[in-house]
Chains A and B, each alone.
Chain A
Amino acid sequence: MRERGQRQVFCGLAGIVWLHRKIQDAFFLVVGSRTCAHLLQSAAGVMIFAEPRFATAILHERDLAGLADCNQELDRIVAELLGRRPDIGTLFLVGSCPSEVIKLDLAKAAERLSAAYHGRVRILDYSASGLETTFTQGEDACLRALVPELPSLPDGARSLLVVGTLPDVVEDQFARLFAELGISPVHFLPPRHTSAFPPLGSGTLVLLAQPFVGDTARACQARGARILQAPYPFGVEGTLAWLRAAAQAWGIDEEVVTAVTAPAITRAERGLAHHRSELAGKRISFLPDSQLEIPLARFLQRECGMTLVEVGTPFLDRQLMAQELDLLPDSVRLSEGQDLERQLDRLRADQPDLTVCGLGLANPLEAEGLRTKWSIELVFSPVHGFDQAADLAELFARPLRRGALLRV
């Protein structure tokens, strides 16, 4: 089912909230309106920052008058910013709806500024406007902008590149697993520091850790890398299949995979058992948010025994989601895009036990008597891999448990 109408989703700018924590020497300068600045601080402002790593260059009336002036203004602002923060290694100029509508050429600006600050700061651009990107697609656009910057992998060499932001602890776990499997070197995109860019070339195998990095994957492909088809590493089944895809491509025996993964799988299944009893048989609906919906629905249905009512996703890349779709039951109602009020009508008619939705809807739905799991947390929490499988299940079990606990 494809729908169009009012959409209750974040724009790509929201990606900055986690990207600025992951890439520690990067700074994100949004070129936009007061609305963009307000979005960022509403999302991240509850943390108190001594030194924030994102900011907005707010357009004023006189900037809308002429474009040449805008470029000078931008140069002035970047100079001010770099003067204040000499520790910035990479500066992202982030496009927004207003900057796109007035056709301010940030790519040109990035090029010009890169030349001016050559050797000191790398200046890149990407668009995270609501016109073009939905929530996690902002990360895709950011990583896509990094791809041309990656050094070349020498011909004949091979490497594995894991694409998509992972919490540091999960990244370390995967690095250990790949080492035990005998896969090396393994690099991650985005890197923790922009001074350590991973190489990319025809010997690179790309494994996607997140389902929303399609454009980045295709950009890697354009530089000769090969994309490995796999489900996404959520739960035991997803993680095993994901690792296996890399191992097979690397030419590693199935027995090695089994031997390496067995202890972690046993552990994960023991952890999952705690939550399965709470989740099994419960009906769940997903409203569109992050493109994580389909892999998570697969995990909850196959490993936790939940019943899927509706799985909504903002955008469905059938090619990158092929392996996941194969694992979903035919009965599931799959929706792409959104017409908010109609979707809420369906939700009220369905009355699922748990609804995964954004924060704009969660409390109002709770007040109507529906239990909700707010979806943004799934992007902020360590949820990938074997050792987080139980944590992931717990994120969904917790609101149900809380609903049963409270007597007020």
Chain B
Amino acid sequence: MQLTLWTYEGPPHIGAMRVAASLDGVHLVLHAPQGDTYADLLFTMIARSERRPPVTYTTFQARELGGDTAELVKASVSDAYERFKPQVLMVGEACTAELIQDQPGALARGMGLPIPVLSLELPAYARKECWGANETFYQLVRGLLRAQVPEAGRKPAPRPAGQRPRANLLGPTALGFRCRDDVIEVRQLLAAIGVDVHVVAPLGASAQDLLRIPEADFNVCLYPETADQTCDWLERMFGMPTVKTVPIGIGATRDFLDEVGRVTGIDVAHAKAPNSSRMPWYSRSVDSTYLTGKRVFIFGDATHAVAAARICAEELGFTIVGLGTYAREFARDVRECARRYGVDPLITDDYLEVEARAAQLQPELMLGTQMERHIAKRLGVPCAVISAPVHVQDFPARYAPQMGFEGANVIFDTWVHPLMMGLEEHLITMFREDFEFHDAATPSHLGSGAGRDRPSAIETGPTVTPAEASHSDIRWAAEAEQELKKIPFFVRGKARRNTERFAEEQGIQTITVETLYDAKAHFGR
């Protein structure tokens, strides 16, 4: 068992639902107890979908467990087929159904339906949501395209002269973080260099569209978490190259265009100047100077975390103090990235571990998921959301991509917004006793309401972190404590920890004002 306050991912059948809900003409029958239909409202409420996800649940109850739940599966399958007339039917189990082992997939296949029936294996006690989506998409594409696979050794026909290269965009799904707008942005990026988009899948594709996937020249793996298996398989079976760079951030977008250029033999030099992005100029303008060295903690899915790290380090001038992911399947990328920036990678799906690390690192900004917003609230640290899981406010009405040049604009605004503005930061440091602009007040551009939780968070947050408990044998002299309070609150936690570390190293029992400044000189900031 694992104590879980918040979970970063849902169970794997949610991933299967995300694929089904992305597609047209594909229906999913889920063997699941009454109540598991809550998942529908992820789509209808959080993502504000206008249609119910194409999912039929068996919704068994206790009284049916004594009887024949297998019959219930069969009835649900035939009802779903009759009513929705799908082109493809997928059958899977939720966690409780996995325990009673009715083999719904095999049952459905034995019913002689005149359409492809795909049986999904979703190990709910070992795997999670992204794995479920990745696996479902892979099984679906493999199942539909297996008949088309050319003989081994046969090379794909070269592109006819004069025809623009065509790309599939693979990976965007329903409930994915900003998938809707990323697809639009990447489509524009590719159009600008003369590449057409052939099939976007699963988001918005039909079963027929999936059959047309091999007609394209190459695949763009936009979200490895949901599409890397599919892309690998298409590469192996159809010889379709995969573009693997994820274009989040200015640098990554340029690299992406380079890679597309290499794969297609197109000269992309003219498109690489980020003339459509204001982000490089905004970041260079003197107003952004105070962002230099802001200490940031990054956590999310691997793709967004790695992209965020590069943006922080190379495009915004932040200092990365922590980097991690909950996606174990992609931990290697994050470890490598963490090594590049000289931080200890945090690979965990345990919310409490992330919370402990954040408390220990005392960042000035957290970039994370909806879950890191809880942590940031507790620690009183500004926070912006960079990755799923997200809630309703991160499915915005406005155009809000993360990818491409416009994505970089969106990212600049979103990440800088929660920070206190430069002038205010200066004044708070200079004058400490202002009744309106003081430590515990929220940055004034965030409004008064947002600050209500702040004072309590500050009291309970940094003062009780485990890191500090271990230094309890070191005493702070009263005037040193006073002096510490003159350090702006967003770096105070770090200053306290550094001073205590310094005192410990030097064998100092009582921290005085002198020790505080000695430590400051020792560590630099």
Contact = CB atoms under 8 A, between A and B. Distances in A.
A12 B48 CA distance: 24
Interface in B94-134: 94-96, 99-100, 123-126, 128
Interface string A357-368: 011111110110
A57 B2 contact: yes
B79 A341 contact: yes
Interface in B45-70: 45-46, 48-52, 56-62, 65
Interface in A1-59: 6-14, 31, 33-35, 37-39, 41-43, 45-46, 48-52, 55-59
Nearest to A57: B1
A230 B204 CA distance: 53
B360 interface: no
24 contacts: A6-B57, A11-B33, A11-B35, A33-B11, A34-B9, A34-B11, A38-B39, A39-B35, A42-B41, A45-B389, A49-B374, A51-B460, A55-B3, A73-B1, A77-B2, A97-B35, A129-B33, A131-B96, A359-B44, A360-B41, A360-B45, A361-B40, A362-B44, A364-B51
A70 B7 contact: no
B418 interface: no
A59 B4 CA distance: 10
B76 interface: yes
A9 B56 CA distance: 13
Given A33-B95, A35-B124, A51-B378, A42 B33 contact: no
Interface stretch (A60-68, A115-123, A319-327, A397-405): A60-68
B488 to A, nearest CB: 22
Interface of A: 6-14, 31, 33-35, 37-39, 41-43, 45-46, 48-52, 55-61, 63-64, 70, 73-74, 76-77, 80-81, 84, 97-98, 100-102, 129-132, 134, 341, 358-364, 366-367
A246 to B, nearest CB: 35
A362 B46 CA distance: 13
A132 B42 CA distance: 23
B96 A37 contact: no
Contact of A38 (B7, B57, B61, B377): B7
A8 B58 CA distance: 10
Interface of A is mostly: helix
Interface string B201-224: 000000000000000000000000
From B6, B46, B100, residue with most partner A Cβ within 10 Å: B6
B218 to A, nearest CB: 35
Given A33-B125, A38-B14, A360-B40, A56 B4 contact: yes
B4 A10 contact: no
Contacts of A11: 33-36, 38
B35 A98 contact: no
Contacts of B1: 31, 57-60, 63, 70, 73-74, 76-77
B457 interface: yes
B37 A367 contact: no
Interface in B373-402: 373-374, 377-378, 389, 391-393
A129 B62 CA distance: 9
B51 A101 contact: no
B525 interface: no
Nearest to B13: A35
A4 B374 CA distance: 41
A360 B38 contact: yes
A203 B126 CA distance: 53
B456 interface: yes
A265 to B, nearest CB: 37
Contacts of B5: 52, 55
Given A35-B94, A101-B96, A131-B60, A50 B3 contact: no
**Which 7 residue pairs are nearest across A and B when measured between Cβ atoms?**
A11-B35, A130-B35, A360-B40, A367-B50, A33-B95, A97-B96, A38-B10
Contact of B44 (A43, A97, A363): A363
B83 interface: yes
Interface of B: 1-7, 9-11, 13-14, 33-42, 44-46, 48-52, 56-62, 65, 76, 79, 83, 94-96, 99-100, 123-126, 128, 352, 370, 373-374, 377-378, 389, 391-393, 453, 456-457, 460
A6 B58 contact: yes
A311 B34 CA distance: 20
B51 A367 contact: yes
A374 B432 CA distance: 49
Contact of A130 (B36, B39, B49, B457): B36
Interface centre among A38, A74, A367 (most CB of B within 10 A): A38
Residue among A14, A97, A100 with most chain B CB within 10 A: A97
Q: Which of B5, B76, B126 has the most CB of A within 10 A?
A: B5
Nearest to B83: A341
B7 A37 contact: yes
B4 A8 contact: no
A361 B469 CA distance: 50
Nearest to A43: B38
B3 A34 contact: no
Given A50-B456, A60-B1, 10 more contacts: A12-B35, A31-B1, A34-B9, A35-B96, A37-B7, A81-B3, A98-B96, A101-B96, A131-B61, A364-B49
B55 to A, nearest CB: 10
Interface centre among B1, B5, B391 (most CB of A within 10 A): B1
A102 B37 CA distance: 22
A102 B126 contact: no
B113 to A, nearest CB: 18
B95 A98 contact: yes
B46 A132 contact: no
B62 A131 contact: yes
Contact of B59 (A7, A56, A57): A7
B487 to A, nearest CB: 23
A9 B37 contact: yes
A61 B35 contact: no
Contacts of B392: 46
Given A45-B6, A60-B1, A101-B99, A363 B373 contact: no
Nearest to A29: B3
A108 to B, nearest CB: 16
Question: Which of B48, B60, B95 has the most chain A CB within a 10 Å cutoff?
Answer: B95
A129 B94 CA distance: 14
